[in-house]
Amino acid sequence: MRAKASSIQGLQHAAGSQGRHGGVSRPGRPESRRKLYPPYEAPVNRGPRHASHSARERHCRVTAAPNFRNTHCMRGQRGMGHGTVESNEAMEAEIQPCEIETPHEVLAPEAQTLPLVVASPHSGRNYPPAFVAASRLDRLNLRRSEDGFVDELFAAAPDMGAPLLRANFPRAYVDANREPFELDPRMFRDNLPGYANTRSPRVAAGLGTIARVVASGADIYREKLPFSEALHRIRSYYWPYHNALRGLIETTESRFGGCILLDCHSMPSVGGPMDRDAGHRRVDFVLGDCHGTSCGAKVAETAERALTGMGYHVTRNTPYSGGFVTRHYGRPDQGAHALQIEINRALYMDERNVRRLPGISVLREDLRQLIAALGALDPTSL
């Protein structure tokens, strides 16, 4: 399952050259966009930067190796056991803008006993003040694009013997479930480099690596951004997240001979204006295996059986068949199995106000059973 780094090394070299010299190089488009992720260069403050970044952010460093014991709590998070309706004061405290001190966190078990990696790329809720100030939207409208509290739903994973990776950065700031340079030229003041993918369906919808709009279709930014801002976010948050994910996968492979990656997301209870199922109420869970190509059939079957056995309504691949993470890391012929799970937000949260509801406790316990079921599989024989 080890990701092949050759193509992205060209991207990183070109991106690094742009950051050092200010010019925009235009290398040829890589042969395969699935061969990604180089070792990440620790210094992230090279080249021009957006003037509104704080001094502390400008001088930060990100280490190349993932920190498997980084367990500092996100600002405003009051613990995984919370399961009651939240007060206005609690919600307001949680959504105060704050700098992203660490791009991601790995909640590691004392000893990994399951061939499973659990990842939550879209539940980050640390919003840099400069980003909030540059947005047309208030914090609550920005937060409605989050996969709210999904990291908490799967918080049992480390206690059960599987690592949990969660992003601290919000998806509206930079989206880890995209190619590294899916960028919309309409968002930027300067020309984009030739290696940027400007024509994907996600870019056309305004939902590239740096999103132009939130899920409702509302524009995020007041003004166009410099490309150096996108480069900063990709270097400082996107690549470190994927390096950590790759590290967890490779550690799991070396220990168990293979790996099952559960990529965790949540979805609005009703299809939005830009969705294929606009206006339609959704099922409880959608399992995405890229139509049978990202994991062995038994992985999706096991997840579906576990969830339907608890009374949930489950579909596969509609309306979500799997995103970039699932497509990129899923190599079932090599013992690497990636399954995306989308959870209906109405099961556990107030979608409008982005608050936890009492149902989060029940759902969290049910997802323990899902983790156990997937963790019992042998990735080498699927």
Distance CA 334, CA 328 (A): 13
Amino acid code (one letter) for 143: R
Task: Considering only CA atoms, give the Rg of the chain.
Answer: 20
The share of the chain scoring above pLDDT 70, in percent, equals 74
Q: Which pLDDT does position 126 carry in this prediction?
A: 92
Q: Which pLDDT does position 218 carry in this prediction?
A: 93
Task: Let me know if residue 47 belongs to a domain.
Answer: no
Averaged pLDDT, 143-169: 97
Instruction: Write the burial class of residue 358 (CB in 10 Å: 0-12 exposed, 13-18 middle, 19+ buried).
Output: exposed
Task: Let me know if residue 46 belongs to a domain.
Answer: no
Averaged pLDDT, 248-275: 92
Q: Which pLDDT does position 86 carry in this prediction?
A: 52
How many domains does the chain contain in total? 1
Rounded to an integer, what is the distance from CA 317 to the centroid of its chain?
A: 18
Contact (Cβ atoms closer than 8 angstroms) between residue 108 and residue 68: yes
Task: Let me know if residue 130 belongs to a domain.
Answer: yes
Task: Let me know if residue 270 belongs to a domain.
Answer: yes
What residue numbers bound the domain in which 102 lies? 6-41+55-381
Element at 341 (helix H, strand E): strand 336-344
Q: Using CA of residue 293, residue 237, residue 67, residue 72, what is the dihedral sign?
A: negative
CATH code for the domain in which residue 157 is found:
3.40.630.40
Neighbour-count burial for 61-98, b at 16+ CB within 10 Å, e otherwise: ebeeebbbeeeeebbeeeebeebeebeeeebeebbeeb
Task: Let me know if residue 182 belongs to a domain.
Answer: yes
List pLDDT tens digits, range 272-315. Answer: 766 777 777 899 999 999 999 999 999 999 999 999 999 999 99
Q: Among 298, 342, 297, which residue's Cα sits nearest to residue 317?
A: 342
Task: Let me know if residue 125 belongs to a domain.
Answer: yes
Task: Let me know if residue 124 belongs to a domain.
Answer: yes
Task: Let me know if residue 49 belongs to a domain.
Answer: no
Rounded to an integer, what is the distance from CA 113 to the centroid of its chain?
A: 24
Q: Which pLDDT does position 143 carry in this prediction?
A: 93
Averaged pLDDT, 148-154: 97
List pLDDT tens digits, range 53-86. Answer: 332 232 222 223 232 222 233 333 333 333 444 5
